[in-house]
Amino acid sequence: MRIDPGSVLNWLRIGVCLTVLVAATFLIAPIQVLALWLDRPLRRTLPRYWHRLACRLIGIRVTVHGALDRQRPLMLVSNHASWKDILVLGSIADVVFVAKSDVKSWPVFGLLARLQATIFVRREEKRTTGNQVNEIGQRLAAGEIVVLFPEGTTSDGNRLLEIKTSLFGAAAAAVPLSPTGTVHVQPVAIAYTGVHGMPMGRYHRPIAAWPGDIPMLPHLIGILKEGAVDVDVIFGEQISYTAESNRKLVSRQIEKRMRDMLSLKLRGR
């Protein structure tokens, strides 16, 4: 049986990357737990460094277009193609995410989500929606940058799914708590555009996207084998949400901006 040296080296690289990432996680986690317990500013900044390390080790190369809005309170509204979106956005800014409650029980990823103070929601339980929206609103008013994935699930990376407007109510909940009476909602588009420095077309985009019907571990190993995935993050112009704003109108405006930004970048513009 002939052994392929290239394959052996690739698996060796994967092993080293995972070992370093696990070691860094065990080193950082106790510090993050303490920062969360004491409610120190470090609890917001430490995850960003972990995400940057994870992106570098996995081989995710991030290019940012535009800029994070400086006004607060700030909600980022982004399309969602993969679990890697968390790493990508988390490597750019000190953010917290809104995730479905199921994520809390996921092996490894659930622990990481809790360490980042993720806001968990139960979309199927209508009676708790008000409390969940209020929690998001309170976190926004406290100065945290909250990331919302309004599609409610991951896509194939080639398009934006129809967005759900219910959690946009979080912006309305934060308005009375905002010193200016305004919450800033900024659209974001995440586009996976290249692999090994070559343009990534529709056929190959599932390498980066994770629609959800593929087991996590094989998908992670597949990404590690590739070792070089390019992703573009586009920050659009924010929309000011006030007490007079119409939630559905704002959500349609945000959806259009996200769709336009994603479409242009996927077409190579």
Tens-place pLDDT, residues 36-75? 999 888 999 999 999 999 999 988 999 999 999 999 999 9
Query: Which residue segment(s) compose the domain that 217 sits in?
Result: 5-266
Instruction: Residue 234: give its domain's CATH number.
Output: 3.40.1130
Asked whether residue 128 carries a pLDDT value surpassing 50, the answer given is: no
Asked whether residue 186 carries a pLDDT value surpassing 60, the answer given is: yes
On the question of a cis peptide bond just before residue 5, with omega within 30 degrees of 0, the verdict is: no
Tell me if residue 241 falls in helix, strand or coil.
strand
Q: How many residues does the chain have?
A: 269
d(CA 234, CA 237): 10
Residue with the bigger pLDDT between 189 and 194: it is 189
Q: What percent of the chain has pLDDT over 90?
A: 42
Q: How many CA atoms lie within 13 A of 104 on its CB side?
A: 11
User: How many CB atoms neighbour CB 161 within 10 A?
Assistant: 16
Asked whether residue 196 carries a pLDDT value surpassing 80, the answer given is: no
- The predicted pLDDT at position 102 comes to 83
d(CA 227, CA 26): 23
pTM (2 d.p.)? 0.89
Residue with the bigger pLDDT between 163 and 183: it is 183
Number of domains in the chain: 1
